[in-house]
Each structure stands twice: as structure tokens, then as C-alpha cells.
Amino acid sequence: MATISKDEAIIRSSGEAARAFTDWYYTQLTDGKPVSSCYVNTNAKYLAASHPPADICINGQVVATPEEWDALLEQQRLITFTQQKGKVKYEVEGFDVHVINKDYRFAAPAEIVAATDAKMMQRTEDARLMMVVTVAGSVTFGGKEKGTPPKQHFSDVFVLVPNWDYVTRPKFKGHKRYLVASHTYRAY
Amino acid sequence: MAPPTGPRAGTGRAPPRGPRATGGGGGIQKRRANPRTDRDGDVSMDAPAGGSGRGGLASGGRGRGSKDARGGRGAVNSRTASRVVQNLQNYVSGGPVGKTQSNMATLKIHGMSNSKATGNRDGGLRSLLTFLERKASKDKAVTIGKSIMDGDYVWITVRKDDAPEILRLNGFTYAGAPLTITETTERMPRPEDKISKAAEETKQKLTAVLAARYNPELKLLDLSSLGTDPILSSMGTFDSKDRAEKAFKVLVVIASQQYKTAAEKREGIQAISLASNGLNDVMQVFTLATSLPDIKRLDLSSNNLDSLSKISKWQHRFQYLEELHLTGNPITTQPDFVAELIKWFPSLQNINGQIVRSPQEVTEALKGMHPTPLPQFPSNLRDGEANVASIFVQVFFPMFDSDRARLAAEFYDDDSWFSIQAIANSGRNLPWKTYLKYSRNVHKLGEKNPATVQRLFTGGNLIADMWKALPSTRHPSMENPGAWLIDCHTFPNLADPTGHGFATGLLITVNGQFEESDTTENLYGKRTFTRTFILGPSKPSNPPPVHPYRVISDQLTLHDWTPAETPAGQAPVANQVPQVPVTNAVPPAEPVMLDDATKNQLIQEVMKRTGMTAEYSELCLSGTANWNFELALKSFEEQRANLPPTAFINAV
């Protein structure tokens, strides 16, 4: 197999990261589960480095915390007539991802920030990425049993930054390789 | 004499044995003394020598019991009364039939009935199949798949490759009778069809019951007092509770099958009476909710429903149910049953003749039957004091429509990335041909696909070249805020172009539509798009004209979703107002409030684009253009010839 260049490795790595992220994120949404854990807000390393809270803008309105976004999603799932939780189904039809900082080091462990550990730098070469991901898809409000459910198109834009807990500990059990630093959502 | 055949005919489970197998014993040979068996234990009487592994594996004595194991075909012909309802259910739930395996061909053989073999126990089917296989296996072993005898015809399936070998036998004489063999696309009869004939009779009886009980004026299907129905009773329908419930299910299904579409059904059957049926739980008639979900009136009077829990299985079903009758049920003595029932059925207005809800309340309730989309707010621009994003989009889109090369040169550098993704799912508007070859939809391509690298355009020059290949566009005017949804904010931690440290970035997301004219494909129409920009500080090394910022990333997403309402959250009423063409519109009278920094930036942009002095650029902007960049450029073009040389910086 032909070896790939560093840039190609980075491009592929970003694609894999975006895939892992969108797979997880929209499964959570459709299953009615919270997503707040994937934002920088709750990460100890980002908190310690005084990273500002993730910028979350939903349909043109700023939402202060990821928990508030979870609450909005709960509100969206509510079927007012029955006061029951309905299904809001998110289906990804496409995503694209660009690397916007190939050597992201904010809130990274000291040996990465100062680039003192050559081995570590090499190992994390395609993992120290800041990325922008644009997702497009459809949202369906409710199931078929109640007639034709309303449907919308959604576009989601995320800025993702490395989850250093994952990067520095290869045996890290968590699944979140990247965290959300910015989230812009529109559904219409 | 014929060996046991088992249900080889038409069980559908015997895999087509491999005609590939030409190795092994090879060639054509006579019937083996011991028939081999396939996995099902069915006797595989016709496998060619050295057949595929499947046949060979089971060559032991397993098949000997097959005759008893399957019970033969005799059982399906017994029409005991107790099976009628079951059969009918099989019939109605059978669903669409007629799918054949795509790699198999179906052949019809006529002439069997004149042969001497008809005296065999199986009507000569087995020996015919043996004959066909033997004769067909000239160059390679041909194996027949399924087979069934139906009247004067024998139906068989063979692999498509083998069909010509069998068809070659057309006109051959078998046991004294000439055979006619033709290929057909008709569905092969199934053993179950013989049951369906019994079901068909029952169905006709039930259809007669339904016809007698249907009132076309009231659109009412009167299924009351079913126990006293003479036809149903004669059919043994009420011999047990279980059978009565099944019979009801079948009745409702047949009733709903009388209509081709859901709309016809909704129109045809608006009311159902289930009065006087001794019901003590709607579970007994639950299928009504699935077969006739759109009924408006339901009569359940004179039954034994004694509590809400006995109706609760239908909770939140019957979305359009307006009228419900429960008189003569113990439940009506319970205090809160009305209050509770209107919570279950959103359209319910009338219970036992009492009005319980107004039409307005019904409209409201129906709206709440689905999860509710989040409210929509207008554009959210948080781009800092300098209004970089506002100015950027004002400059960007008109220039993308008019001069892409220049746009790329001014705002993109060697490290800028651009890509397009086309979300071509429904294709109901414009086709996607032009875009699909560029589409970097990583979701569809797969992240390991080399196309994800090839379709990423890096550097201003490459990007400009790629833009040349795209159809020309016209974005709506920024004057029309309803046509745009722009969200923007700053974020930290981009790489600083000077080397070390971090820089602040700007994320701009634009949702809107543009008109497209694709002259190569001769296509014209509108596309809906999302465009995501990441802006960062310019590199000091960038050639002039240096803007303070550059495009680091530009992602264009195209899809063909047409929003039901205008995205800016305008009331739908606004759509009814005739739209004045924007180009002819008088610019809004109210002055635009811009801070000086923004004005200065706009002036700088106009200077760059027109070559005019700051003074004239300001005049141009502050006039009828009312600080609209696009209008200012337009008025410049119109007035250009009339401008004095002193208006230009490089005036000679």
C-alpha cells in the first residue's frame, strides 16, 4: 500500500473524527439522550486552561450551556397533546470537514504545548486538530402512526477541538476523541 | 412407481443446487438408487452427479422420514370449518406476492396431462423433472429449482443460465405426449394458493355481509349485533371467542381493502357502529384502529365497557374521531370519563350527543399531536465591533456572482480550503450532475475514500479554477433579510499566522438560496445552500490587496430542501402579499445605522473595487445606496461615465 503524505493523514484523520462524532451525536439526539458531555464546558483540562464556554447558537438564539441545549431538545420532543415524549429523528445526509488548525495545542499537556516529547509529538501528529464540520440532514417530528409527521432540513456547524484525555491516554475508555467548542444549528 | 417426493414442489426452501458442479463424477447419469436429500431432509431426486456440497453433505438416510415430516400436500386441502378463519387470515395478511428470485427463470410446461405418466402417484411430476434434467444436461448439469403442477401446467424454475437448455426441449415427446415449454414472467402458483381458493369463498361471504351492513349515505359501516348475523353464524364464526375476534379482524381488513387509497377509505367509511357486541375491552376489536384509523364517528353503545382502562388500548389512536357513543356501557356512570376521553382523542367534539370541545380547541389539540420544532429567530451576527462578518458577506456574495477569480485572489491564500458537498437525496428540483463530481460528502464517500483528498481544493489558485467550472449564480440582495439566515461569532485558538500563539477566528454560517444558470447543462433554477466560512487574520506575507482577514475554510453545502415557510420566521401571511421586484424597489427611507468603523471599512472596499477616492466612495455609499455595498457598486457602474477624473485615485 502506498504511503500517504502527512497532509493526507491529517485529512483522513479529520474524516474519521467527524464520522465518529456525527455517528455518536445524532444517535444520541434520535434516541432522546443528552449530548452535553461532548462540549468543552465540562472537560477538566479545558476548564483549567480557562477556555470560554462553547458558543452554542440554536436557530439564531444563543444558548448559554450545553445543558440548556439538552433541555431545548427535550422541549422539542414533547407531544403537547399527550404530554408524552415523542421521537424526533435526526438523519445525517452529508457532512464535510476541514482542518482549520493543524497543530492545536490549547489546554494540551505540557509536553505537547512545549513540544518537548518528540515521540508524543509524532504520535499525536494527526490528532492535534481543530476542525470545522458542516452537517446536513433531515429532522422528522414524530412517527408515522399519527399521520404525516412534520419534517425539516437541518444544518449543523461544529468547531471541534481535541479531547486531550483521549489523545494522551491511548487506553482511554471514553469515546469522545474531540469536543465541541462551537455549535451553530439551524432547522427550517 | 415413484419414490417419496415430499413437498419439493414449491416449498421455496430447497436451494437451487449447483449446476456449476461439473467436477466429481461428472457427466450425465441415470437416477441413483438412493435419492439424496437436501438440508431440509427433502428428497433431492434430481441432483446431478457430483452436485454441489449442499446436496452431497446430506447423502445419508435423513431423507427417509420426509414423507411423514411434512405431512404431504393432503393436509392443505382439508377444509375443516375451524381453519376457515385462519386461512382467510393467511390470505389477507399475505401481502404482495409475485417476487421471484432475480437469477431464476420461470418456465411453463404444457402437455403433461396427455402423457402416460399421469397415472403415477404424483401425477408424473417427478419423472417429468428427471426427464427434463437428463435431456437438458447436455453440456453441463442442469438442475431444476422449484416445481409445481397446477392443472394442465407444470411450472418450474431454473437458473437463468440454464433456461435455454430446458427451452431447447420444447416439442420433445415425454411418455407419449409432446411438451410445450415457454418462459413466463407470470407468478408461479404456490401451494398456499390452493388454500386461498377456500379463503376466496369465505371472503366472498364476508364481503356480502359487509355490503349488507354498509350505508352509503351515512358512510356508515354497521357492525352492530354481529352475533345475530345469520351468515356469520352459519360460518361458525362465533364458535369460540378466539375465532370471533379473528373474524372481526378479517371483516375490518376486507372492508378497508375495498378502497385503493387512504383518502378514498377515509371518504368511504366515516362511521362505524360496534353497538351491542358484548365488548368488555376494545382490545377485542383493536384492529379497527389500524385498519380504519381515520374514522370520524364511532358507536360503542350497549356494550360492557366498565372503565377507562377498557378503552385505553385505543388511547391517542383515531386522530380524526369527532363523535363517540358509549351509552349503555357501565363506564358512563364514572365521573371523569368525558374529561379523560378528550385527552385521548384530539378531534373528539361530541360524546353521547354532548358537545365536549369546540372546533378551535380541536385545531389546537391536533397541532400538538407531534413533537414541536424549535422556534426560528432571525440572523444572529456577533462579529465584534468591526462588523467584519457583515461586511464580508456583503462583499462576498455579489462578487461570487460577478467575479470569482478576483474574489479568490483577494480573500483566499495558499492555505485556504474549499469544498462542496451536494446532498442529492430527492432530486425533485434541479439535477446534480454538475456538482456530483466535486461533491465532498464525506458521509457518503467514506472517510477512507481518496476522493476526500481529491475533492478538497486548497489554495486560492486551485479554488479559483474550480469555481470557473461551477454554474453561474445570482444570490439574493442583502436588502432582503428574509432571504438570508446568517449566524456568526468569534472563537479563540486559531493558529496565529505570525508563528506562535493563538489568533481569534470568525465563524460565519450562511443559509439561503441562489438562482443558478447552468449553461453547459441548460438548467436554470434555485438551489438552497449552507455556506460555512472560517475567517482568520491574514498572513503578513500575503500579496496585496491585503485584507485584514482571509478565508481559512469555505464549505459549500447544496441541497434541494425547499422550506415550507420563509426561514426568517416571517408569518406565512407575508407570502400572500404580492412581492415587489427588489430591483425596482425604492431603497428603504430609514437611514441605516452604522458605526464609523463599519463605514470606513465599506469605504475602503468601495475604493478597492472602483478605484475611486475615499471622498467619492463615501459619496457613492451615502447617496441612494444608503450604505448598501451592492447598490453602491451598481450606482457606480451607472454613473461611471459621468464621473470627473478627480474622482479616481489614479487619475491621470
Is B423's Cβ below 8 Å from some Cβ in A? Answer: yes
* B160 and B243 part of one domain: no
Instruction: Residue A87: list chain B partners with CB under 8 A.
Output: 371
Is B262's Cβ below 8 Å from some Cβ in A? Answer: no
Domain boundary among B159, B194, B229: B194
Instruction: Residue A184: list chain B partners with CB under 8 A.
Output: 487, 489, 507, 509
Least confident of A105-114, B71-80, B441-450, B638-647: B71-80
Cβ contact B495–A103 (<8 Å):
yes
Least confident of A83-97, B327-341, B343-357, B626-640: B626-640
Average pLDDT over residues B478-495: 89
pLDDT at B562: 66
For residues B585 and B339, what is the distance between their CA atoms, to the nearest angstrom? 55
pLDDT for B249-308, tens place per residue?
888 888 888 888 888 898 999 999 999 998 999 998 998 998 898 999 999 999 999 999
Domain boundary among B514, B538, B573: B573
Confidence of residue B495 (pLDDT cuts 50, 70, 90): confident
**B628: nearest Cα among B442, B373, B368, B393:** B393
Confidence of residue A163 (pLDDT cuts 50, 70, 90): very high
- B118 within domain boundaries: yes
* B356 and B413 part of one domain: no
Average pLDDT over residues A18-40: 95
Is A49's Cβ below 8 Å from some Cβ in B? Answer: no
Average pLDDT over residues B587-610: 66
For residues B379 and B387, what is the distance between their CA atoms, to the nearest angstrom? 14
pLDDT at A146: 58
Total domain count, chain B: 4
**B487: nearest Cα among B562, B412, B380:** B380
**B318: nearest Cα among B341, B336, B295:** B295
pLDDT at B458: 94
Percent of chain B scored above 70 by pLDDT?
75
Task: Note whether B45 and B3 are within 8 A (CB).
Answer: yes
pLDDT at B425: 66
* B552 and B420 part of one domain: yes
> Which chain B residue lies closest to A6 (C-alpha atoms)?
B453
pLDDT at B568: 39
Average pLDDT over residues B162-171: 89
Nearest-by-Cβ selection for B532 from A134, A137, A150: A134
Nearest-by-Cβ selection for A15 from B319, B452, B489: B452
B residues 67-96 lying closer than 8 A (beta carbon) to A: none
Least confident of B190-199, B400-409, B418-427, B446-455: B190-199
- B326 within domain boundaries: yes
CATH code of residue B639:
1.10.8.10
A residues 54-93 lying closer than 8 A (beta carbon) to B: 55, 57-62, 72, 75-82, 86-88, 92-93
A residues 99-128 lying closer than 8 A (beta carbon) to B: 99-104, 106
Is B426's Cβ below 8 Å from some Cβ in A? Answer: no
CATH code of residue B516:
3.10.450.50
Average pLDDT over residues B153-179: 88
Phi-psi region of B46 (alpha: psi -120 to 50; beta: other; left: phi over 0): alpha
pLDDT for B547-595, tens place per residue?
788 999 999 999 877 655 443 333 332 223 333 333 323 333 334 456 6
Cβ contact A60–B532 (<8 Å):
no
For residues A55 and A39, what is the distance between their CA atoms, to the nearest angstrom? 10
Cβ contact B534–A62 (<8 Å):
no
**A14: nearest Cα among A94, A122, A101, A118:** A101
Cβ contact A93–B374 (<8 Å):
no
> Would you state the CATH architecture of domain A6-187?
Roll (3.10)
> Which chain B residue lies closest to A158 (C-alpha atoms)?
B507
Nearest-by-Cβ selection for B319 from A51, A55, A146: A146
**A152: nearest Cα among B565, B527, B431, B571:** B565
* B517 and B546 part of one domain: yes
* B494 and B530 part of one domain: yes
* B244 and B281 part of one domain: yes
- B74 within domain boundaries: no
Domain boundary among B543, B573, B603: B573
Nearest-by-Cβ selection for B493 from A93, A130, A147: A130
pLDDT at B55: 36
Cβ contact B369–A52 (<8 Å):
no
- Quote the minimal CA–CA distance from B281 to chain A in Å: 22
pLDDT for A36-83, tens place per residue?
999 999 899 999 999 999 999 999 999 999 999 999 999 999 988 878
Nearest-by-Cβ selection for B371 from A86, A155, A187: A86
Percent of chain B scored above 90 by pLDDT?
29
pLDDT at B64: 41
Cβ contact B444–A81 (<8 Å):
no
Is A97's Cβ below 8 Å from some Cβ in B? Answer: yes
For residues B208 and B213, what is the distance between their CA atoms, to the nearest angstrom? 9
Listed in sequence order, the residues at least 6 apart from B585 whose beta carbon sits closer than 8 Å to its beta carbon are: B479
For residues A86 and A99, what is the distance between their CA atoms, to the nearest angstrom? 37
* B325 and B456 part of one domain: no
> Which chain B residue lies closest to A81 (C-alpha atoms)?
B368
For residues B47 and B55, what is the distance between their CA atoms, to the nearest angstrom? 7
Least confident of A95-109, B471-485, B616-630: B616-630
State whether ipTM is beyond 0.90.
yes
Confidence of residue B432 (pLDDT cuts 50, 70, 90): confident
pLDDT at B546: 67
pLDDT at A170: 65
Cβ contact B494–A100 (<8 Å):
yes
CATH code of residue B343:
3.80.10.10
Cβ contact B491–A147 (<8 Å):
no
Average pLDDT over residues B61-77: 40
For residues A96 and A84, what is the distance between their CA atoms, to the nearest angstrom? 35
* B282 and B420 part of one domain: no
* B391 and B523 part of one domain: yes
Instruction: Residue B567: list chain A partners with CB under 8 A.
Output: 186, 188
pLDDT at B581: 30
Q: Domain residue spans in chain A?
A: 6-187
* B441 and B531 part of one domain: yes
Instruction: Residue B346: list chain A partners with CB under 8 A.
Output: 81
Cβ contact B377–A15 (<8 Å):
no
- Quote the minimal CA–CA distance from B512 to chain A in Å: 11
Cβ contact B452–A12 (<8 Å):
yes
* B328 and B391 part of one domain: no
**B532: nearest Cα among A155, A33, A80:** A155
- Res B111 pLDDT > 90: no
Confidence of residue B453 (pLDDT cuts 50, 70, 90): very high
Average pLDDT over residues B614-641: 78
User: How distant is the alpha carbon of residue B54 from its chain centre?
Assistant: 38
- B479 within domain boundaries: yes
**Whole-number average pLDDT of chain B:** 77
pLDDT at B35: 43
Task: Note whether B287 and B248 are within 8 A (CB).
Answer: yes
- Res A93 pLDDT > 90: yes
- B471 within domain boundaries: yes
Is A174's Cβ below 8 Å from some Cβ in B? Answer: no
Nearest-by-Cβ selection for B371 from A78, A157, A186: A78
* B104 and B217 part of one domain: no
- Res B28 pLDDT > 70: no
For residues B440 and B434, what is the distance between their CA atoms, to the nearest angstrom? 13
- B6 within domain boundaries: no
Beta strands at A61-63 and B153-159: parallel, antiparallel or unpaired: unpaired
Task: Note whether B149 and B123 are within 8 A (CB).
Answer: yes
pLDDT for B359-385, tens place per residue?
888 888 887 888 889 998 999 999 877
- Res B233 pLDDT > 50: yes
> Which chain A residue lies closest to B344 (C-alpha atoms)?
A82
- B94 within domain boundaries: no
- B109 within domain boundaries: yes
Task: Note whether B452 and B440 are within 8 A (CB).
Answer: yes
Instruction: Residue B559: list chain A partners with CB under 8 A.
Output: 93-94, 136, 153
- Res A17 pLDDT > 90: yes
Which residues form the domain of B627? 580-652
- Quote the minimal CA–CA distance from A169 to chain B in Å: 23
Percent of chain A scored above 70 by pLDDT?
92
- Res B485 pLDDT > 80: yes
